[in-house]
A and B are shown apart, each in its own frame.
Chain A
Amino acid sequence: MAIDIPRLPLGDWIEGGLDYLTTQFSAVTRGISHVTQGGINSLNDALMWMPAWSLIALIALLCWRMSSVRLAVGSALGLALIWNLGLWDPMIESLTLVVIATLVAVVIALPLGILAAISNRFYAIIMPVLDFMQTMPAFVYLIPAIPFFGIGSVSAIFATVIFSMPPAIRFTTLGIRQVPKELIEAADAFGSTRSQKLVKVQLPLSLPTIMAGINQTIMLALSMVVIAAMIGADGLGNEVWKAIQRLRPGDGFEAGIAVVILAMVLDRLTQSFRKTKKAQ
């Protein structure tokens, strides 16, 4: 005795919505696509133009200045291994995508995070949205990216930004809300305007927390950039993807190890930014 409840056409609705958006805003999406592609190309070209050894030296120097000799040596060895494996170019492509996606994500996340810290109403709205963004399986974002921006790197950036943005927003909000109440009172008592309070007290004091959020964003961006190979993004993910299709576990692991090395260098380096800021 089956009860015949009609299936809710949720998917159809979403598709309809997406179709509408694609057609209505095609000019906008094409514009975004153009600009983003330009950004990707120029950064990629710049990094490719530098000889591998010089970039390795530069990163090692940065690690040494920001953190320790150990990190500098480790980074240099790791990056040299990637070079040696012939994965330098895909690594640079992945790095480019990570850098661009992180920049875009942070530029959007900071104001949203600040707004959520100041306004309880906005906080109540955005927190469930962030939960949604973070729990939705990452690949799903790849699908609507294609009708918007076509196959390739721009779609990868789009999906990556959405996937990696939540921690930057959350940590910004958290950081600002964690500023001790007494300091806010002090700022108010002396007659600070809202923006003075933000710039002179709240943001500087929440910087370590915000940097932790950006570190998370970078890590998520890297993982998404690899997955985005499925929709034609270049880079290390693409090497893994090729290895899957050709059933060559050796190649797959080589590319995978390169991802791990890149992740470790990025993670340690951004953590050291955070620590030096804190120590000041």
Chain B
Amino acid sequence: MSESQTTKIQVRGLSKVFGSQPKKALELRDQGLKRPEILEKTGQTLGLSNISFDVKEGELLVIMGLSGSGKSTLIRCLNRLIEPTEGDIIIDGENIPKLNEKELLQCRRRHFSMVFQNFALFPHRTVQNNAEYGLEIRGVDKAERTQKARDALKQVGLDGWEDAMPSQLSGGMQQRVGLARALANDSSVLLMDEAFSALDPLIRKDMQQELLELQHRMKKTTIFITHDLDEALNIGDRIILLKDGEIVQIGTPEDILTNPADEYVARFIEGVDMSRILTARHAMRPVRATAREDDGPRTVLRKLSENGLDSIYVTTRERKLLGLVDADAADQAAKDGEQSIKAILHDDFPRVGPDEPLNNLFAMFNEKSRPIAVVDENQRLLGVVVKGAVLAELAESGER
């Protein structure tokens, strides 16, 4: 889905050295030395080394890595809260590292809104005034910014809390204010720095879900930093894996799970709960036989016995799923001399989309002993999932 999108930000050869002699450190880097050796030889810390990637318009890009991997440095280089040592960051034709102070100010106002790990709300301002901050400093007039801030607060489900002070809110609500402050600003890129890491797990899940919905609605280009792979896999359209200031892998969540670039990534994904990552698509098998809507009961009975089945899906010519016919019902219909199976078609079986996570499928097996039909958005039959296949898929991915 992301192939057709245009590029919003291009990052090329971005490096950051912490210390007073960055040139020296970069020279050693170019000779092939790694971060620890450079630190030992020069006392300079190589925070980021030669980072290049694209951010596509409207995508949710996750940058993930453990602490010290340089992810916070990277996101701060984008809006120059930290000055990059070398490299280009091009957004809408402007090269951010080359901007002077005044241009940088305008660039930050127009392009970037940021959400922070510990919320960073202004404690002396009400929720409403916090949400207005970005507009206020841009000189947007009072009526307009009040309206925009209200809209943003509504988006995050905080209407009615405008006059509260941040200290009166729970952590989750505070971060909603943080999000509203960023959204109200109407900038083109949303930077989220470990935005949900300070929240407890349940609220965190909710916030991830809401972010996804919001993202779906508003199509805002979002760069999300996290150290949590589950979170990255859950929300990211694409994921950049960072280690020691270098990119290890860029790819969709599935790329990363199925083709880990190296040992580091593989070790990372070991702990992931595969049942939440793998979907019905991974576990489904092709349907061995289907019946047509104009088949008679005897035809159906023959197909059943040929394939050793006790029930069969009935589809149109275009493979649109109509229902299921059970063997005993077909047998009865044949005995009664019926010409059509329409009367014995029924809907009493589970059906899911191909992106349904496997862990949701378990519950369906408990209710019914029937296999699960996997259909696309046009109700076309794609395949079938039987209980054994789910378990097999999980076991297999665990070994990878």
The number of A-B residue pairs with CB atoms under 8 Å apart is: 57
Q: Please tell me if the beta carbons of A182 and B108 are within 8 angstroms of each other in the complex.
A: no
For residue B279, CB closer than 8 A to chain A, the reply is no
For A, the interface residue count at a CB cutoff of 8 angstroms equals 18
* Residues 133-155 of B contacting A (Cβ, < 8 Å): 133-134, 136-138
Find out whether the CB atom of B105 lies under 8 angstroms from the CB atom of A205: no
Residue in contact with A189 in the complex, picked from B108, B124, B138, CB distance below 8 Å: B108
Let me know if B112 is at the binding interface, CB within 8 A.
yes
Chain A residues whose C-beta falls within 8 Å of the C-beta of B108 in the assembled complex = 188-191
Is there an interface contact between B106 and A183, defined as CB atoms closer than 8 Å? no
- Chain B: CB-nearest residue to A192: B137
Q: Does B123 contact A (CB under 8 A)?
A: yes
A187 contacts across to B, CB distance below 8 A: 133
Most B CB within 10 A of own CB, among A182, A185, A186, A201: A186
B112: chain A residues at CB < 8 Å are: 189, 191
CB distance from A176 to the nearest CB of B (A): 14
Docked-complex contact B137 and A196, CB < 8 angstroms: yes
A 181-208 contacts with B by CB, 8 A: 182-183, 185-193, 196, 200-201, 204-205
Bound CA–CA A182/B106 (angstroms): 21
Shortest Cβ distance from B191 into A: residue: A189
For B136, what are the chain A residues with a Cβ–Cβ distance below 8 Å? 200
Contact of A191 among B109, B118, B122 (CB under 8 A): B109
Q: A280 and B137: CB pair below 8 A?
A: no
Contact B114 A200 (CB under 8 A): no
B138 touches A186 (CB 8 A): no
Complex CA gap A191/B137 in Å reads 8
B315 within 8 A of A: no
Contact A185 B120 (CB under 8 A): yes
| CB atoms of A193 and B124 under 8 A apart | no
Judged by a CB distance under 8 angstroms, whether B185 is at the interface is: yes
Chain A, residue nearest B139 (CB): A196
* A191 & B134 in contact (Cβ 8 Å cutoff): yes
**In whole angstroms, how far apart are the Cα atoms of A204 and B114 in the complex?**
22
B116 within 8 A of A: yes
Identify B105's interface contact among A182, A191, A204, CB under 8 A: A191
Given A185-B116, A188-B81, A189-B79, A205 contacting B134 (CB threshold 8 A)? no
Question: How far apart are the CA atoms of A196 and B121 in the complex, in Å?
Answer: 16
Let me know if B116 and A193 touch, CB within 8 A: no
B49 within 8 A of A: no
- Chain A minimum-CB-distance residue to B130: A186
Q: Are B120 and A190 in contact (CB under 8 A)?
A: no
Other-chain contact of B81, A189, A192, A205, A280 (Cβ < 8 Å): A189
Give CA–CA (A203, B181) in the complex, Å. 21
| CB-defined contacts of A183 to chain B, threshold 8 Å | 120, 122
Nearest B residue to A180 via CB reads B120
Residues in chain A near residue B118, CB distance under 8 A: 182
Q: Are A201 and B134 in contact (CB under 8 A)?
A: no
* A-side contacts of B124, CB under 8 Å: 204-205, 280
Most buried by A among B113, B133, B185: B133
CA–CA, A186 and B114, complex, Å: 7
Question: A193–B105 Cα gap in the complex (Å)?
Answer: 7
Give the docked Cα–Cα distance between A260 and B138 (Å). 51
CB neighbours (8 Å) of B114 from chain A are: 185-186, 189-190
**Min CB gap A2→B, angstroms:** 52
Q: For the complex, what is the distance from the CA of A19 to the CA of B336, rounded to whole Å?
A: 129
Contacts of A196 in B (CB 8 A): 137
- Is A190 touching B81 in the complex (CB atoms < 8 A)? no
Question: Contact between B116 and A191 (Cβ–Cβ < 8 Å)?
Answer: no
The residue on A at minimum CB distance from B112 is A189
The answer on a CB contact under 8 Å between A201 and B122 is yes
In the complex, what residues of B have CB within 8 A of residue A180's CB? 120
Nearest-CB residue, chain A, relative to B123:
A205
Tell me how far the C-beta of A195 lies from the nearest C-beta in chain B, rounded to whole angstroms: 10
- The CA of A189 and the CA of B122, in the complex, are separated in Å by 13
Residue of A nearest to B185 (CB): A190
Chain A residues whose CB sits within 8 angstroms of the CB of B137 once the complex forms: 190-193, 196, 200
Structural contact, B81 and A185, CB atoms closer than 8 A:
yes
The interface residues of chain A lying within 8 Å CB-to-CB of B122 are: 183, 186, 200-201, 205
Chain B 311-344 interface 0/1 with A at a Cβ cutoff of 8 Å (1 = within)? 0000000000000000000000000000000000
Chain B: which residue is nearest A197 at the CB level? B137
* Complex Cα spacing A204 to B137, Å: 16
User: What's the nearest-Cβ distance from chain B to residue A271, in Å?
Assistant: 20
The distance in angstroms between the C-alpha atoms of A99 and B107, with both chains bound, is 47
Within 8 A of B (CB), among A259-280: 280
CA distance A187 to B109 in the complex (A): 11
Cα of A188 to Cα of B105 in the assembled complex, Å: 8
Q: How far is the CA of A180 from the CA of B117 in the complex (A)?
A: 13
How near does chain A come to B127, taking the closest CB pair, in angstroms?
15
Complex A-B: 29 CB contacts under 8 Å = A180-B120, A182-B120, A183-B122, A185-B81, A185-B114, A185-B116, A185-B120, A186-B114, A186-B120, A187-B133, A188-B108, A189-B79, A189-B108, A189-B112, A190-B109, A190-B114, A190-B134, A190-B181, A191-B106, A191-B107, A191-B108, A191-B109, A191-B137, A193-B105, A196-B137, A200-B133, A205-B122, A205-B123, A205-B124
Closest 5 A/B residue pairs (Cβ): A191-B109, A191-B108, A189-B114, A186-B120, A182-B120
Known: A185-B81, A205-B123. 9 other contacts (CB 8 A): A180-B120, A183-B120, A186-B120, A186-B122, A187-B133, A189-B79, A190-B108, A193-B105, A196-B137
